[in-house]
Amino acid sequence: MEILKDVLMKKIHYREAKIAVVGLGYVGLPLAIETANQGFKVYGIDICKDKIESLSLGKSYILDINDEDIKSHINKNLFVGCDFSIVSEVDAIIICVPTPLNEMKEPDVSYIKSVVKDITKYLKAGVLISLESTTYPGSTEELVVKVIEKSRKIEVGKDFFVCHSPERVDPSNSTYHVKNTSKIIGGCTSNCLELGTALYEKIIEKVIPVSSIRVAEMAKLLENTFRSVNVALINELTMMSEFMDINIWEVIEAAGTKPFGFMPFYPGIGVGGHCLPVDPVYLSWKAKKYNYYNRFIELTTEINENMPRYVTNQIADILNNIEKSIKNSSILMVGLTYKKDTNDLRESPALKLFKLLKKKGAKIEYHDGYVPSLKYDQEIFYSQELTVANIQRADITIIATDHSYIDYQFIINNSKIVYDTKNATKGYKGRNIVLLGGYTMIE
């Protein structure tokens, strides 16, 4: 049985292993491209026909990947499709499907379950499976290993190999990308870990093996829970600072001069994206199964989820000071995505703010170069150009996402009031700016 491991190890060594990447989104597509860059034959599988069609035409739908990256590989050493039967030919399968929350704010692992069901019947002997989707501790064993062992009557570590290697990629980060972001990996058995480490070491600069799959799963949740908790802390201090009339942004900058023991986090309308609002909930949900109630995570979620309401109240106060109400006020929102320089709207707090203001009767328009249109409540909104007329029409301009391409001085010069949730106006001149958490009275 050692032979299966040796065969795959040899194929990995000579880059002859065929790799399937399942789920070609923000995580899977950059990984598939990097794996192809490193000389492997890659088979990308996605259930979204539009994405497959786009890739087949050499067109990227992810900002970090340009069309040339696709064109240089497609149908040479990158093959894409919706059909899982190709799995019968591959030596390794890397799963990168979504792990969101359902309506009840509980983990939705149905995407992983569906992939495991689809690949199981095609698995060849000695295949390596790596789950990259972020998920709660224990899920790789529960949702991947046990299901395959039971339905195929095969044994992990001997007949097939399983790892968990959580993805850490930070879309739109120009410094860190797939290759130079170190990667943790845990294996189900020592054979699994050796094979998984060998494969990733061919693709990623630094691979960090850990003693178990659960450690790898938990490490990812720790990373994002840490960020979420600290953002919640700073959000709470921001709300407190408003009452104390202290500029929290300056406080963070001052504290950040300490060369050790302090890491700056910044307030915002909340936390967004596929990770920070979601991952801590995976952990607290699982902990409840052990009768453990994670108060930190519950409190963090509560504070961060309430930020759009706090921000709405600040906007109401600002408008009140100029004898206006949110209802019927003209509001221009700049930026809708969950963070700057991305087109990702998932869990975007800016979007939550947009909806709250709309519900309160604001006449709302938006500008976001990454979001040409937005459908909400049977209505379609289109991104407005940042022209003098469009800005001057608004009673207040809200900077919700601080995209790098935006001319903030132009916004300040032409806005009646700027409400800046990102401190994007730092260093620019204007007496019409209120920062999130700041004193809401304009001089």
Q: Over the range 87-118, which residues count as b (16 or more CB within 10 Å of their CB) and which as e?
A: beebbbbbbbbbbebeeeeebbbebbeebbeb
Query: What is the smallest separation between the CB atom of 24 and ligand NAD, expressed in angstroms?
Result: 5
Nearer to ligand NAD, 21 or 332 (CB): 21
Interface stretch with ligand NAD, choices 67-75, 200-208, 272-280, 322-330 (CB under 6 A): 272-280
Query: 41 has which bridge partners?
Result: 18
Query: What is the smallest separation between the CB atom of 100 and ligand NAD, expressed in angstroms?
Result: 8
115 lines the binding site for ligand NAD (CB under 6 A): yes
CB 397 within 8 A of CB 378: no
Nearer to ligand NAD, 4 or 281 (CB): 281
Beta strands in 120-211 (DSSP E): 128-131, 161-164, 183-187, 207-210
Query: What is the smallest separation between the CB atom of 107 and ligand NAD, expressed in angstroms?
Result: 10
367 lines the binding site for ligand NAD (CB under 6 A): no
143 lines the binding site for ligand NAD (CB under 6 A): no
Residue of closest CB approach to ligand NAD:
25
Taking CA atoms, 187 is separated from 126, 193, 371, in Å, by: 15, 4, 40
99 lines the binding site for ligand NAD (CB under 6 A): yes
List of residues 6+ apart from 229 with CB closer than 8 A: 280, 296, 297, 300
Query: 45 has which bridge partners?
Result: 22, 81
Nearest to 442 by CA among 357, 331, 306, 317: 317
Q: Of residues 66, 85, 102, 114, which one binds ligand NAD by CB under 6 A?
A: 114
Nearest to 326 by CA among 336, 316, 311, 340: 316
438 lines the binding site for ligand NAD (CB under 6 A): no
Q: Of residues 107, 137, 171, 349, which one binds ligand NAD by CB under 6 A?
A: 171
Interface stretch with ligand NAD, choices 40-48, 85-93, 197-205, 289-297 (CB under 6 A): 40-48
134 lines the binding site for ligand NAD (CB under 6 A): yes
102 lines the binding site for ligand NAD (CB under 6 A): no
Taking CA atoms, 201 is separated from 73, 179, 255, 264, 418, in Å, by: 21, 10, 38, 32, 48
Query: What is the smallest separation between the CB atom of 334 and ligand NAD, expressed in angstroms?
Result: 23
CB 167 within 8 A of CB 179: no
Query: What is the smallest separation between the CB atom of 203 and ligand NAD, expressed in angstroms?
Result: 16
Q: Is the dihedral of CA 36, 41, 46, 51 positive or negative?
A: positive
Q: Of residues 274, 286, 339, 403, which one binds ligand NAD by CB under 6 A?
A: 274
Nearer to ligand NAD, 54 or 230 (CB): 54
Cα separation of 259 and 160, whole Å?
48
Nearer to ligand NAD, 48 or 57 (CB): 48
Cα separation of 208 and 229, whole Å?
25
CB 351 within 8 A of CB 345: yes
Nearer to ligand NAD, 110 or 320 (CB): 110
275 lines the binding site for ligand NAD (CB under 6 A): yes
217 lines the binding site for ligand NAD (CB under 6 A): no
By CB under 6 A, how many residues form the interface with ligand NAD?
Answer: 28
CB 429 within 8 A of CB 411: no
Query: What is the smallest separation between the CB atom of 230 and ligand NAD, expressed in angstroms?
Result: 18
Beta strands in 298-406 (DSSP E): 330-334, 363-367, 373-376, 379-382, 396-399
Q: Of residues 34, 46, 91, 242, which one binds ligand NAD by CB under 6 A?
A: 46
167 lines the binding site for ligand NAD (CB under 6 A): yes
- Ramachandran bin of 263, using left for φ above 0, alpha for ψ from -120 to 50, beta for the remaining angles: beta
DSSP letter assigned to residue 74? B
21 lines the binding site for ligand NAD (CB under 6 A): no
Interface stretch with ligand NAD, choices 46-54, 292-300, 328-336, 432-440 (CB under 6 A): 46-54
DSSP letter assigned to residue 144? I
45 lines the binding site for ligand NAD (CB under 6 A): yes
Query: What is the smallest separation between the CB atom of 297 and ligand NAD, expressed in angstroms?
Result: 16
Q: Of residues 60, 77, 130, 133, which one binds ligand NAD by CB under 6 A?
A: 133
25 lines the binding site for ligand NAD (CB under 6 A): yes
Q: Any idea which residues carry the catalytic annotation? A: 275
Q: Of residues 20, 21, 24, 315, which one binds ligand NAD by CB under 6 A?
A: 24
Footprint of ligand NAD (CB under 6 A): 22-28, 45-48, 51, 96-99, 111, 114-115, 133-134, 167-169, 171, 273-275
